Each structure stands twice: as structure tokens, then as C-alpha cells.
């Protein structure tokens, strides 16, 4: 083949480092954003935390979610041009291209609310640090501590250690006795000796630990109850002999075989239900994840107001002393270093401002669409998709997807992720639409009001919704019911 040079003219979209940084900040959660800001403060000497509470120049009032009232709109609601994909919010003209040297967070963007403290200092940051340094022993450590208090021979100590290692986080023994005995190749251990050590461990705290299945776990707890506990002997009989009927809620067969009356069986079931099927969950590492809301929604004077959480991120500014050195005409390496960091600091502050403005716009539109939910609950939730919000704020759907991921809204009805307000829809007989969230709420309401002796089947729920004009297939009801962790009708049957 003959080599040759050719010139071609074409267009392509290039992701600049500044745009990549802006997109990355947009999709970060609150805790990740705080870590990103701290990392920027550590690496860039021209960035610092602002300790002053200066006068606010922009967006001095919370944004109202009332539609069609432009005179109350804040600067964060100004209509933006609509370019392609994620470039529109990073290239808006309402944010200065070159921020002043002494720019502060509050000078360019006002975070609503009355919080006075910085999110990175003092008592305001207690919620962010207290739980990070907490620790607790695992279930195995808890059992070994109790084992050390027992007087056992070396062989029994070895057997007990093997049993403890085979207990999972729920407190169940996951290996059979034969498998554990066979694992001791050089020791002559009998099954009876193994069972004796296992019985000892089953008396450890928490009650029920070391059970090989649910039935044994419940029996261990029942046998540890005081002997004068009402119906404890009858409960042991039901669990040991009629576990299958108990799981199927075949109460008539249990009453007939055990010769029990209905009120007696009701008390026995209350005793069994008071037991813990997973005792190991009470011991171990606490992996609780704390949610910090990004947006606050409140109702004042009959209007829903949306405001950013002022404590989700520290207010940062450009260090004026270092920045003044960048004006010098010297071409030294130190001056080049300061100029580079000054430009990075300006872009970082600009990206943070853009992130908050975008979050404010999206949250305000969501509240406008879902005012029915805020007023009346999940049954009034409207169908909403990303495309609806994207058109309303003049942005791309991918931007809306990023800004609604791992962002939380605090409302009078609780704290919800922004994605909670988006749901699919089904048609109604009147030609309207009903959201899947509203249908789930109706299913939960119908199940809560059903007769416990004759629970509603999925087909019956379908008929009841059809009477309200909502056409939903039975398999859809089953899917929604499972997502709500509601068991089928045969498992919901109980004694009154």
C-alpha cells in the first residue's frame, strides 16, 4: 500500500479537564463532596475555608416551589441555554469566567438557610466524625471472649474454636458435625464429644447462637427461658414437631394435633414471635450509614419553599495574599506554580457553584411536580420521569440522572432520595395516569385494612384497584407486593 497524507475536516466534542471535574463533583454524594473539598484544600494552597459571614449578594431568599410565579423566583431559577449533554451547566454565562481574586463562596452563591457555622469545623461537624471512629467486636470475638472464661481441655478448646469459626454473622452454624469432626485429621474426636462442646457454645450470649437451622435456633432460646414462662413447654412442642405447619400458617391442624384452643395458640404464637431468628445480628460491626440531606423543603404561609442545606460543605475562598503574588510579572517557577493553582482554585469554586445551582433547580422542579405527595402522601404521587425534569430545567437527561443520584431531600414526610420522586405510570379508565408509587401505597393500605383471617389475594387486590379505575395486571400486583416485602395471602393469615 502506498502511504499518503490527507486532511479531513470534522467536529467532535472534547471533555476538557474542567468539564470532567464539574461532572465528577455533580454526581458526588454529600459525604464524598466533603472529602473532595478537603482534598482540594490540602493540595491547593490558594484555597482556604472562609471564617467570615459576609453580606449575601445572590439568592437571598429560599426558592419557592409554587408554579407560575416568576416574581418570586431566585437567581437559581433563571432559564439556562440548552446545549448538548452535560456541557450546558458547566458553561453557563451567569457565572463569571474569571472569578475575582478575593472571591468567597457567599459572594457568588448564597446557600439558603440560617446555619452560621462552617461544615468543616467545630460542633457543626460532630455528626460527620462521631460515627467514623466507632468500633465493636465481631460475633466471633464475642464468643471467643466467653470461651476464654470456660474451663475446657485443650481438645475441647480446639473443637470450640472450630465451631466458632464456622458460625456466620447471623449466628447459625454453617458446617455439619461430621464435616468438622473429619477436619481434625490427627485427633480422634467422637461425635458425642463434639456435640457436648456445641451444646456449651449454644448456651453463650446471644441466646440462640450456634443453631444449625431456624428450628434449633428457636428451641435453644425457648429452653433458656424461665420454666415458669406461660406456654413455654407447648411452644417447644409446636416448634419441634410442627414447624412446617407453623410456616404454612396451618393453625387448624396445629390446634387439632396439640389439642389447643384458639386463645392458647394465640399466646403460644406471641411467645414464638418474640424470639430472635437471627441472634448474631445483635452482635458485630455496626454498618449504619448516615444520610445528610442536601435540600430542605418546608411549608411557610401556604407555600412550599426549597432551600439548600447550608452545612453540607465548607465555604471556601481564594487566599488573597497568595493570589496577589500571581500578579507579579516574574517568570519564576514559583510564580508559575501560583498561577496554575489560582486557575485550578477558580475552576473548583465555579464547579461547586454550578453543582449547587443545578441541584437547586432540579429540586425545585421536583417539588413543583410532586406537591400532591407533600400534601397528601404517597397515594397522591404523580408519574414522573427524568425527561420531564430535563425539559423543565433545560438540561440533558444524563445531567438530571447525575444530580438525583445519592442526593437527599428533607421533607415534612421524611428524608427521601431525589430518585424516589421518579416513577413509571399505568393508565386509568378515565384516560389519566397513576404512578407506580401511588399503586404501592394503595396496596399497602388495602393489606393493612384486610381481614387477617381472610387476607386479600393478588387477584382480589387487582379487582379492588379496578373498582377505583386503575387497571393493573395480577402479576404486576405480585411484583409490587414483593417490593414492599409483603408476604403472599397464605402467609399473612393469622389468628385475631
Which stretches of 80-148 are DSSP H helices? 105-108, 126-129, 139-148
SS3 455: coil
- Indicate the DSSP class of residue 398: H
| Structural domains of the chain sorted by starting position, each given as residue range(s) with its CATH number in brackets | 17-60+96-115+292-373+391-416 (no CATH), 139-282 (no CATH), 423-492 (1.10.10.60)
- For residues 288 and 131, the answer to whether their CB atoms sit within 8 Å is yes
Q: Output the pTM of the full model.
A: 0.63
Position 369 scores a pLDDT of: 92
Position 64 scores a pLDDT of: 61
The grid coordinates of residue 222 equal: 425457648
Position 78 scores a pLDDT of: 33
Q: Which among 53, 421, 136, 115 is positioned nearest to 292, based on CA atoms?
A: 115
Q: Is 284 exposed, middle or buried (0-12, 13-18, 19+ CB in 10 A)?
A: middle
Ranges under pLDDT 70 in the chain: 1, 13, 52-136, 185-187, 284-289, 329-330, 427, 429-432, 495-496
Q: Dihedrals φ, ψ of 108, to 5°?
A: -105, -35
Q: 20-46 pLDDT, tens per residue?
A: 888 888 888 888 888 899 999 999 888
C-alpha span between 368 and 272 (Å, rounded): 48
Position 121 scores a pLDDT of: 40
Position 81 scores a pLDDT of: 38
CB neighbourhood size of 342 (10 A): 23
C-alpha span between 485 and 57 (Å, rounded): 49
Position 52 scores a pLDDT of: 59
Is the bond preceding residue 261 a cis peptide, omega within 30 degrees? Answer: no
- Indicate the DSSP class of residue 84: S
Q: Strands 408-411 and 295-300, how do they pair?
A: parallel
Q: Strands 433-435 and 425-427, how do they pair?
A: antiparallel
Maximum distance among all Cα pairs of the chain, rounded to whole angstroms: 99
Position 446 scores a pLDDT of: 92
- For residues 240 and 219, the answer to whether their CB atoms sit within 8 Å is yes
CB neighbourhood size of 174 (10 A): 11
C-alpha span between 153 and 37 (Å, rounded): 57
Position 461 scores a pLDDT of: 92
C-alpha span between 12 and 292 (Å, rounded): 39
Position 329 scores a pLDDT of: 57
- For every residue of 238-263, DSSP letters joined together read HHHH-HHHHHTT-HHHHHHHHT--HH
Q: What is the 3-state secondary structure (H, E, C) of 277-299?
A: CCHHHHCCCCCCCCCCCCEEEEE
CB neighbourhood size of 124 (10 A): 16
Position 96 scores a pLDDT of: 53
Q: Which among 66, 78, 110 is positioned nearest to 393, based on CA atoms?
A: 78
C-alpha span between 272 and 265 (Å, rounded): 10
The grid coordinates of residue 185 equal: 485429621
- Range 411-417 contact pairs with CB under 8 angstroms and sequence separation of 24 or more: 411/297, 411/374, 412/297, 412/298, 412/299, 412/374, 413/373, 413/374, 413/377, 415/291, 415/293
Position 111 scores a pLDDT of: 44
Amino acid at each position: 500500500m502506498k502511504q499518503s497524507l490527507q486532511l479531513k475536516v470534522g467536529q467532535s466534542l472534547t471533555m476538557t479537564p474542567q468539564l470532567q471535574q464539574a461532572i465528577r463533583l455533580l454526581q458526588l454524594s454529600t459525604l464524598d463532596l466533603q472529602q473532595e473539598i478537603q482534598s482540594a484544600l490540602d493540595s491547593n494552597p490558594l484555597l482556604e475555608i472562609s471564617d467570615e459571614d459576609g453580606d449575601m449578594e445572590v439568592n437571598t431568599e429560599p426558592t419557592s416551589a409554587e408554579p407560575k410565579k416568576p416574581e418570586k423566583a431566585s437567581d437559581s431559577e433563571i432559564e439556562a441555554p440548552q446545549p448538548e449533554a452535560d456541557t450546558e451547566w458547566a458553561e453557563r454565562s451567569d457565572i463569571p469566567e474569571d472569578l475575582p481574586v478575593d472571591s468567597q463562596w457567599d459572594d457568588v452563591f448564597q446557600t439558603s438557610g440560617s446555619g452560621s457555622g462552617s461544615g468543616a469545623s467545630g460542633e457543626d461537624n460532630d455528626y460527620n466524625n462521631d460515627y467514623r471512629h466507632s468500633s465493636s467486636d465481631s460475633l466471633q470475638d464475642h464468643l471467643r471472649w466467653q470461651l476464654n472464661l470456660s474451663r475446657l481441655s485443650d481438645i475441647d478448646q480446639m473443637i470450640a474454636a472450630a465451631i466458632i469459626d464456622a458460625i456466620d454473622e447471623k449466628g447459625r452454624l454453617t458446617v455439619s458435625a461430621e464435616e468438622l469432626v473429619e477436619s481434625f485429621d490427627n485427633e480422634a474426636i467422637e461425635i458425642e464429644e463434639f456435640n457436648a462442646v456445641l451444646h456449651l457454645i449454644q448456651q453463650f450470649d446471644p441466646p440462640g447462637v450456634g443453631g444449625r437451622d431456624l428450628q434449633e435456633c428457636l428451641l435453644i432460646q425457648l429452653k433458656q427461658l424461665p420454666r415458669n414462662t406461660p406456654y413455654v413447654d407447648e411452644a417447644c412442642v409446636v416448634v419441634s414437631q410442627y414447624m412446617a405447619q407453623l410456616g404454612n400458617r396451618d393453625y387448624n391442624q396445629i390446634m387439632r394435633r396439640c389439642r389447643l384452643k384458639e386463645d392458647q395458640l394465640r399466646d403460644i404464637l406471641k411467645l414464638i414471635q418474640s424470639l430472635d431468628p437471627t441472634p448474631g445480628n445483635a452482635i458485630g460491626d455496626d454498618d449504619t450509614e448516615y444520610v445528610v440531606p442536601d435540600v430542605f423543603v418546608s411549608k411557610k404561609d401556604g407555600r412550599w419553599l426549597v432551600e439548600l442545606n447550608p452545612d453540607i460543605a465548607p465555604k471556601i475562598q481564594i487566599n488573597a495574599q497568595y493570589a496577589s503574588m500571581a500578579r507579579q510579572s516574574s517568570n519564576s517557577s514559583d510564580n508559575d506554580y501560583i498561577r496554575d493553582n489560582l486557575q485550578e482554585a477558580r475552576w473548583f469554586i465555579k464547579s461547586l457553584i454550578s453543582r449547587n445551582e443545578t441541584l437547586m433547580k432540579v429540586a425545585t422542579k421536583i417539588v413543583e411536580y410532586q406537591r400532591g405527595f407533600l400534601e397528601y402522601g404517597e397515594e397522591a404521587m404523580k408519574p414522573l420521569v427524568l425527561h420531564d425534569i430535563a425539559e423543565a430545567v433545560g438540561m440533558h437527561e444524563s445531567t438530571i440522572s447525575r444530580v438525583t443520584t445519592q442526593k437527599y431531600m428533607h421533607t415534612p414526610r421524611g428524608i427521601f432520595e431525589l430518585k424516589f420522586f421518579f416513577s413509571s405510570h399505568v393508565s386509568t379508565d378515565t384516560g389519566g395516569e397513576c404512578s407506580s408509587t401511588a399503586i404501592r401505597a394503595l396496596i399497602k393500605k388495602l393489606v393493612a385494612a384486610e381481614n387477617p383471617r381472610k387476607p386479600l389475594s393478588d387477584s382480589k387486590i387487582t379487582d379492588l384497584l379496578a373498582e377505583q379505575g386503575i387497571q393493573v395486571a395480577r402479576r404486576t400486583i405480585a411484583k409490587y407486593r414483593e417490593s414492599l416485602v409483603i408476604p403472599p395471602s397464605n402467609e399473612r393469615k393469622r389468628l385475631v
